[in-house]
Chain A
Amino acid sequence: MPSIAPYDLGEFVERAVFLGDAPAFALADGTVHLPAGGGSVLTAHDGGLLTACLDEYSNRLLTGGEDGRVVAVDAKGAMGEVASIGKKWVSVVAGGPSGAVGFASGRTAYTWTNDGKVLEKQFSRTVEGIAFAPKGLRCAVARYDGASLFFPATDAEPLFLEWKGAHLGVAFSPDGKFLVTTMQENALHGWRIADGKHMRMTGYPSKVKDWSWSAKGKFLATTGAPAAILWPFSGKDGPMGKAPLELGTRGNVMVTSVACHPSEDMLAIGYSDGMILAVRFQDSKEALLRRGGKGPLRTMAWDRRGRLLAFGSEDGEAGVVDIAG
């Protein structure tokens, strides 16, 4: 039976991650909580923290704030400023190969390389999302009417992948063959990068706000429905012409967070009532990890061994589930 170590953090939890084997929680008030080993609280941003993500390449937490700063917290719990752009909001951050950091404010995308240089790229529309390709220093931004691919270190014109509508989040598939965006509409859009072939993923009753690639990139699990929706990406055409897998369907309770297990075909599903289920892809078998809570689940993350699951909610409830008990 799984056991839960709960933490009442009292503020909106923007992101839960594991740094090494220790959980870390980035909160909207600008603090980062590291509860392991006696526990410590870092103040990453004045005002508020707007965005945070795990940099899988360098195993660190990256955050962006209202104070115009990008901050990194490493596995030892050491905090450092990556960049500062004045009093503009840093709305998105992403980690890339060789210690690179991408972030954006308004219509400018910034790429920080580990030799300390910050490269700026202007776009005609707001940069809503940013991501690094798995290899090489190549970035993608989500924007109005599509996504743009560019090499930050060169002046070459970005490659514009067009699709009408506002694109908000962006991610490469782990093999780098596909680019996927979340949209202002209740839909995802994707492109096969080699030839720009479109993939439309629609039918959601709500906006998609969290997603997670399964082990080896076989599926992309998403929120935005009263079930987790998993699009198959193992074939060369991605999900085109295939029905998605639906897991953890619950009448009228929305899925608000998803996290795929790092090695097995299994998904942690967080709901708007705070419940967490673990569901196996193969037979849809469900296991209850958390009964419920005060507010919607915002974020979840597995440790690299796939035994611990960190979670955080919009109401400041957080915790770590040990599935082995």
Chain B
Amino acid sequence: MSDAVSQNVATPATENNPIPVTVLTGYLGSGKTTLLNRILSEDHGRKYAVIVNEFGEIGIDNDLIVESDEEIYEMNNGCVCCTVRGDLVRVVEGLTRRKGRFDAILVETTGLADPVPVAQTFFMDEDVRAKTELDAVVALVDAKHLPLRLKDSREAEDQIAFADVVLLNKTDLVSADDLSKVEATIRAINPHAVIHRTERAGIDLAKVLGQKAFDLKKVLDSDPDFLEEASHAHDDHVCGPDCDHQHNHHDHDHDHHHHAHGEASAIHDVTVTSISLKAGELDSKKFFPWIQALTQEEGPNILRLKGIIAFDGDPDRYVVQGVHMIIEGDHQRAWRVDEKRESRLVFIGRNLDREELEAGFAACAARVRAHAEA
């Protein structure tokens, strides 16, 4: 076997130590294979199992590259959006029986693949869920061809909307002006993803792997829009000093969220919207029934949701995240004294009714306590 085996020095994965899974999405030609080759050949001391749709262009000799046919299974529970990837269930089950064989799993999807069933597999299948944890969904975007892709397909938009990390690749093939426009479009589709500009998928792997984007304990901590000073700290947060790409972003409009919406609307090809809600302290007896009913009814329209909730009388931050109808939540940590006890919730999806969401969220507000007025 290859050197990769002797590099297997990192902590072996066990059942108490779930195996992280990174999902790579992106259109044909966006640089997925280049990134995969980088991950497999770089000297990082970790061993990866890679699930691909087709063998072929991966030039690295690795005995843990598995081919699997995309097989979407609708769950028989009357919910059209409750889908899993049957092929991933089978392959992940096969791969995870032997302990310490590899440290992480990479799933490469086809350009046309819907990222949602891939992600849902890691939440809905009990065996897969017990042995693995979804780390992040990484979308590669071809800076030159994205506008065209958005015109002729919905998948390209879905992949960006669903991503935690977007690699805006092939930046060397477009002008600075076009690059800014493409980045604004990505921001319009998904204001919460971390965007990195790359050439030939060249990126510090620490910015792609080990993101813990679905970990409730860390959810939103890395989300630029959720940070207190998001609009100012964003770019510095995204690109560390060791970033090798062009740092011309400091002259961006830092209020990128609103700016991006304005610019992208001219493209007419963006159908995904993002809605951010803000409120004070909430009443858990109102919030839980509301979010349950909402995800039941609007699940098919919700691609992702994330939130930090301040419940009346609860010293801890409560965090929630969801994919379609699947929603999970947990206490994260105590509110710090210098933090404003504020509830925030973001939705990324289609056909979302902003006014209704705002009204519903506002109606969950905790009543002001009588003694506070006394």
A80 CA / B2 CA spacing, docked (Å): 27
Residue of A whose beta carbon sits closest to that of B77? A185
Q: Which of B43-98 contact A (CB under 8 A)?
A: 55, 63, 66-69, 71, 73-77, 84, 86-87, 89-91, 94, 97-98
* Residue in A14, A87, A125, A185 whose CB lies within 8 Å of B97: A14
User: Is A47 an interface residue, CB under 8 A from the partner?
Assistant: yes
What's the nearest-Cβ distance from chain A to residue B253, in Å?
48
Residue of A whose beta carbon sits closest to that of B91? A89
A50 CA / B75 CA spacing, docked (Å): 25
A164 CA / B75 CA spacing, docked (Å): 9
Are A184 and B86 in contact, with the CB atoms below 8 A? yes
Interface size on B, residues (CB 8 A): 25
Are B75 and A185 in contact, with the CB atoms below 8 A? yes
Are B94 and A165 in contact, with the CB atoms below 8 A? no
Give the B-binding residues of A (Cβ under 8 A).
11-12, 14, 28-29, 47-48, 50, 66, 87-89, 91, 106-107, 125-126, 128, 144, 164-166, 183-185, 187, 206-207, 314
Cβ-Cβ contact count across A and B, 8 Å cutoff: 62
Contacts of B90 in A (CB 8 A): 91, 126, 128
Are A144 and B73 in contact, with the CB atoms below 8 A? yes
Contacts A144-B71, A144-B73, A164-B76 given; indicate if A89 touches B94 (C-beta within 8 A): yes
3 tightest A-B contacts by CB? A165-B76, A166-B73, A28-B97
Are A126 and B97 in contact, with the CB atoms below 8 A? no
Residue of A whose beta carbon sits closest to that of B127? A207
Contacts of B89 in A (CB 8 A): 184
A12 CA / B127 CA spacing, docked (Å): 15
Give the A-binding residues of B (Cβ under 8 A).
55, 63, 66-69, 71, 73-77, 84, 86-87, 89-91, 94, 97-99, 125-127
Are A12 and B97 in contact, with the CB atoms below 8 A? yes
Residue of A whose beta carbon sits closest to that of B86? A166
Contacts A87-B55, A165-B75, A185-B76 given; indicate if A106 touches B69 (C-beta within 8 A): yes
Are A126 and B69 in contact, with the CB atoms below 8 A? yes
Contacts of B77 in A (CB 8 A): 185
A165 CA / B83 CA spacing, docked (Å): 10
**13 more A-B residue pairs beyond the given contacts A144-B73, A166-B86, with a C-beta to C-beta distance below 8 A:** A28-B98, A66-B94, A88-B67, A89-B66, A89-B67, A89-B91, A91-B90, A106-B69, A128-B90, A144-B71, A166-B73, A185-B75, A187-B76
A144 CA / B91 CA spacing, docked (Å): 16
What's the nearest-Cβ distance from chain B to residue A39, in Å?
22
A91 CA / B75 CA spacing, docked (Å): 22
Contacts of B87 in A (CB 8 A): 126
Residue of A whose beta carbon sits closest to that of B69? A106
Are B98 and A126 in contact, with the CB atoms below 8 A? no
What's the nearest-Cβ distance from chain A to residue B339, in Å?
39
What's the nearest-Cβ distance from chain B to residue A182, in Å?
13
Residue of B whose beta carbon sits closest to that of A107? B69
Contacts A165-B76, A183-B76, A185-B76 given; indicate if A11 touches B98 (C-beta within 8 A): yes
Contacts A165-B76, A183-B76, A184-B73 given; indicate if A48 touches B86 (C-beta within 8 A): no
Task: Determine which residue in B67, B76, B86, B90 has the highest number of CB atoms from chain A within 10 A of its CB, and name it.
Answer: B76
A59 CA / B87 CA spacing, docked (Å): 31
A50 CA / B73 CA spacing, docked (Å): 21
What's the nearest-Cβ distance from chain A to residue B172, in Å?
36
Contacts of A166 in B (CB 8 A): 73, 86
Would you mind naming 29 contact pairs between A and B with Cβ atoms under 8 Å apart? Answer: A12-B97, A12-B99, A14-B97, A28-B97, A28-B98, A29-B98, A48-B94, A48-B98, A66-B94, A87-B67, A88-B67, A89-B66, A89-B67, A126-B86, A128-B86, A128-B90, A144-B71, A144-B73, A144-B86, A164-B74, A164-B76, A165-B73, A165-B74, A165-B75, A165-B76, A184-B73, A185-B76, A187-B76, A314-B97
